[in-house]
Structure 1
Amino acid sequence: MTGPTVVSGVAGVAPEAARTTAPPAVPTATAADVADVNDALLHGELDRDSVLRLVARGVRRGLDATACAVSTLERDGTLVVRAADGRVRPDLVGTSVPVTDSLAGEALRRCEAVIADSGQATAWSGSVLGPVLVVPIPGRARPGGVIEVADVAGTGSTDSTGTTESTESRRYGPGDVRTAGLFAGAAGMAVEHDRASAELELAAAVLGAAGGEPLPQTLRQLSAAALTGTGGLAAAIYLLDDNLTLRRAAGAGPTELLEDSAAGAAPNVAQAAVASRAPIVHQHVHSEGGGGVGAHRRTTALVCVPLMSRGVVLGVLCCLCPAGSYPGRRELAYLSMVAGKAAMTVDSSHLVASAQEKAAQEERQRLARELHDSVSQALYGIALGARTARESIGQEPERIDQPLAYVLQLAEAGLADMRALIFELRPQALAEEGLVAALGKQLAAFRVRHGVRTRAVLGNEPAGAFKVKQTLYRIAQEALQNAAKHANARNVLVRLEASPTALTLEVADDGVGFDPGASYPGHLGLRSMRERVSELGGTLEIHSAPGEGTRIVARAPTGLWP
């Protein structure tokens, strides 16, 4: 048995060099299989393993072989079978392929195809094989993996006329290597897409674990990812403002090259990409050395990919390729993926800002109603009482105490209302003073405003996340308003209990009660309370019946983990 034969200069080369090789003529059936793989890549309809299954099928059929397996090279240096076609073990996919002292390892080390004669055996087959061909899958930072194709000894292969050829006489040659190489390039694109997506997902997970970074920080990371995934010189993300003008939001590398190296073309090309809603590649030829006989010509390529989300263009990603290179389909597909991540990030930021603005607007409207209903009425009553007291001074001095007492009562109520509203406008005070103090002030304002007797069982300040305490404060606020406006309660109890894992708030009144299962159109308070506590993973219980008062119990996890 002779050693493996290495076929040089055909497969396993860098993607840029591979694109300079003139494609050989291939059979119509193989060309159709290659077209299927390329369509799957370009349209992004299939994941990596689905594309690799098409590759395994196409290579096996194109080489008229018995079996084919496609393995990817993992970060730890192992090979894992991702797809197989033909006569292989049923449990082959997902198993590891040895790299040391194997044909696959030899092909990876040399970055060239390896051919072995009959008598070889592979771990992924479990059978003695005839001739074996191993073609490396190209990659950028590291090889993508290998494509192994073989004939099981004794079975032979069948040609297009139906004639069976013995595996002993079968030999793989440069033509077979070229055919497999057509699929190896496509497999490399699928593997690189998957690697890049995993890296971006990891970056997003890290950002999320850190509590979420500001939008510029995330866009800077995506700009850097555009460079590392394509080998570009500089990248930047531009966002459309309200005047539909592109403003640079983030960048990586010497971003001034985006304008200088392309003769100031970046803004124009970016606007064209936004207008066309499709990626645009702009080439520019520079003449260096004065433009004379000895002048040197240098070509640069600028890629601009629009940021699209929900059918709307939000901006554009621009990437400058190294001098003398031109972006291929792999680079364009990768930049499109990065642009998609950026678009989702920007769109999510817009949605969050919109939701926050809506919540702030609703809170302002509620406070305006409160000011009108309580403080304005209190001020009107104070003015009326003061006029009555002034008139009584000259006419009935002995009766002046009554209007003055009325004025003082209204002034105290208005002051309590104003303090409560100011407290609500300053939510940071909840973090500074604590939930117990906040509930105490809220009850004091409620007692003065509505003349309802209150009882508080609050204890010491409990441990808990600020968001949890803020939610319970809002629930207590809503429950007290319901007790005053709808229940006509005379007594209200507010109780706060804490355990190592949860906080429990109870608000009970002796009002008229109601049927919790009935529908009350236009009354959103109860639904609002449920939504608030459910966002924390907690529960809300409502115990009430007509004539029996109401008791609301809200439980929420503390939001603190060891």
Structure 2
Amino acid sequence: MGAVTTDRDEILQAVSSAVLAVTRHLSVREVLQVIVRSAQRLLDARYAALGVPDDDGSFAEFVAEGITGKQWDAIGPLPRQHGMLGAMLREAAPARLPDLRADPRFEYWPKAHPVMKDFLGVPIRDGEQVLGIIFLANKRTPGGFTQEDQDLLTLFAAHAAIALTNARLYERGRELAMLEERNRMARELHDAVTQKLFSLRLTAQAAGALLEKAPDQAAVELERVHRLAGEALAELRAVIVELRPAELDRHGLAETLRKHVRMLDRLHPSEITFECAELPPLDSAVEVAVLRVAQEALHNALRHSGAARVSVHLSFEDGRLALTVVDDGRGFDPAESRGLGLVSMRDRAESVGGIMAVGSARGEGTTVHVEVGV
């Protein structure tokens, strides 16, 4: 009896450790990876994978352990919801098989796919909703997976569902916070600058009306236009500095952007890299403008381009700071684009005396390049 209790305690401790490992991570993709690694280690399986379904008959996320990157490249695209994976999503019930290939629900593998024999799959559920399926194959211990293994994986999947739900809620909360920040910025800009620009417009109209009839008065009004324009620019710069992210004060532009790229690389399936040369001290407004352009360019690449790889590069040479964001996505025709935030990105660059160029073509990716004299 004592030995049975000890074994049970060890199993529960292993489950607890695995779940705690999951809950320490907040990004969805990182949670998925830790769930798979923990399940593989917990049940001593050679292969482990977890798929999160999308609405188009494929998988929005699919992570695996036991398969090398080279093997993945040879296997090809993410699996679709066919065969055993599709059956498990439809049936939402555990499956334990001595030989996966002998089951009538099995269809086929891609040519480069490793051979899997004994199989254990369990749905990850939130109530009636199936968040995904986790499955293991080729148990290292002879004899295949047991009923005890199935019970353990089911218990682990129930706890993992909580961690995965929390990670999704965190990401949604973060997106809402970013949206609120954008809305707040719009309100700040409106309150601080709109009145000044309205006065500028009226004064310019008055100067135009007086230009022929009273040129001396027109010159006075134009001088006022010049003064108001300077004040509006100063107000705008003050708002930009006020809205400066706290990370810039703590870490500077390079490290703030590095951390942002690292976070996005964890959250998205695309490979996102960052390179930076040594930078001199930068003006606050320049740091904010370049950071916001980089964030917008990354947002476009990850949300709209379907890119597999995105690179961000910061450099400084001959008194000029340069930002380059390149993706290998589907591209677009810049002449036909009215969205993607290109106007706001260009406005941000020009607000600090910079220039922005966008190079893209359909099927050939996109490059966003910004240069600012510092």
Which residue in 2 is equivalent to 1:236?
Answer: 49
Which residue in 1 is equivalent to 2:58?
Answer: 245
Q: 2:96 & 2:200 partners in 1: Cα distance?
A: 73
Query: What does the per-residue CA deviation read over 1:485-527, in whole Å, with 9 as the maximum and x for residues that have no partner?
Result: xxxxxxxxxxxxxxxxxxxxxxxxxxxxxxxxxxxxxxxxxxx
Query: What does the per-residue CA deviation read over 1:31-72, in whole Å, with 9 as the maximum and x for residues that have no partner?
Result: xxxxxxxxxxxxxxxxxxxxxxxxxxxxxxxxxxxxxxx54x
More helix per residue: 1 or 2?
A: 2
Report how far residue 313 of structure 1 moved. 1.6
Q: Which stretches in structure 2 are left out of the alignment for 5+ residues? A: 103-114, 254-374
Q: 1:268 & 1:299 partners in 2: Cα distance?
A: 14
Equivalences for 1:27-66 in 2 at 5 Å? none
Q: Which stretches in structure 1 are left out of the alignment for 5+ residues? A: 1-69, 72-135, 138-143, 146-187, 288-297, 435-562
Match of 1:356 among 174, 181, 192: 174
Q: Does 1:303 align with 2:120?
A: yes
CA contact (8 A) 1:303 1:319 kept: yes
Q: 2:248 & 2:208 partners in 1: Cα distance?
A: 40
Larger radius of gyration: 1
CA contact (8 A) 2:57 2:80 kept: no
- The 1:278/1:234 distance shift into structure 2, 3 A limit, reads same
The residue identity in structure 1 corresponding to 2:179 is Q
- The 1:280/1:432 distance shift into structure 2, 3 A limit, reads closer
The residue identity in structure 1 corresponding to 2:150 is L
Q: 2:22 & 2:45 partners in 1: Cα distance?
A: 22
CA contact (8 A) 1:234 1:253 kept: yes
Match of 2:228 among 410, 424, 434: 410
Query: What does the per-residue CA deviation read over 1:254-294, in whole Å, with 9 as the maximum and x for residues that have no partner?
Result: 4879xx9xxx999522222222222122443779xxxxxxx
Q: 2:165 & 2:61 partners in 1: Cα distance?
A: 16
Equivalences for 1:50-449 in 2 at 5 Å? 71=2, 136-137=3-4, 145=6, 188=7, 190-204=8-22, 208=24, 212=25, 214-243=27-56, 245-247=58-60, 249-254=62-67, 268-284=83-99, 300-322=117-139, 325-400=143-218, 403-423=221-241, 427=245, 428-431=247-250
Q: 1:254 & 1:279 partners in 2: Cα distance?
A: 23
Q: 2:220 & 2:130 partners in 1: Cα distance?
A: 68
The residue identity in structure 1 corresponding to 2:193 is V
- The 1:286/1:416 distance shift into structure 2, 3 A limit, reads closer
Q: Which has the higher contact order (CA 8 A, sep 6+)?
A: 2
Report how far residue 398 of structure 1 moved. 4.7
Q: 1:347 & 1:418 partners in 2: Cα distance?
A: 41
Q: 1:341 & 1:247 partners in 2: Cα distance?
A: 21
CA contact (8 A) 1:306 1:315 kept: yes
Percent of pairs with identical residues: 25
Q: 1:192 & 1:382 partners in 2: Cα distance?
A: 74
TM-align CA RMSD: 3.8
Report the TM-score when normalising by structure 1: 0.36
CA contact (8 A) 1:269 1:282 kept: no
SS in 2 for 1:316: strand
- The 1:286/1:268 distance shift into structure 2, 3 A limit, reads closer
CA contact (8 A) 2:33 2:64 kept: yes
Report how far residue 431 of structure 1 moved. 3.6
Deviates further, 362-371 or 343-352: 362-371
CA contact (8 A) 1:266 1:302 kept: no
CA contact (8 A) 2:37 2:48 kept: yes
